[in-house]
Amino acid sequence: MNNNSRIKLEAEQDFEAKVPENEQWQLLITRVENGYYIKAPNEQPYVIQENEKDELKDHEELLWYIMEYFNFGGSKHDLERLRIIREK
């Protein structure tokens, strides 16, 4: 088992032990060598991998995942909403 796998397994076991069964609004986010490992209660893990051609891609994808999971991004019909914008 490599170091990333060991870290993910330990973090997931610790997370699952601490989350009450009825608690749905928690995420475990672990930064690993090549991206992010995300675990939500009662869901399969989600992995975001780094993109060598785009330094911001994995960070951007993490932010989008969090916004969608917690449902606070809003929709295009809302008067105000959060957005993720890249600036050059």
pLDDT in tens, 68-81: 888 887 788 888 88
Determine, yes or no, domain membership for 81.
Answer: no
Range of the domain at 33: 3-70
The whole-number pLDDT of residue 65 equals: 93
> What was the pLDDT predicted at 70?
86
pTM for this predicted structure:
0.72
| CA dist., res. 54 & res. 88, Å (int) | 13
pLDDT digits (tens, 9 = 90+) for 31-66: 988 899 998 888 888 999 999 899 899 999 999 999
Amino acid at 18: K
H runs (alpha helix) in 1-88: 3-18, 57-70
**Tens of pLDDT, residues 6-17:** 666 666 666 665
pLDDT at 48: 94
Residue 60 lies in a domain: yes
Residues in Cβ contact with 33 at an 8 Å cutoff, skipping those fewer than 6 apart: 3, 4
Any domain includes 75: no
Residue 83 lies in a domain: no
* Overall domain count for the chain: 1
Is the residue at 82 inside a domain? no
Asked if 26 and 40 touch (Cβ cutoff 8 Å), the reply is yes
Give bridge partners of residue 36 from the DSSP assignment: 31, 48
pLDDT at residue 84 above 80?
yes
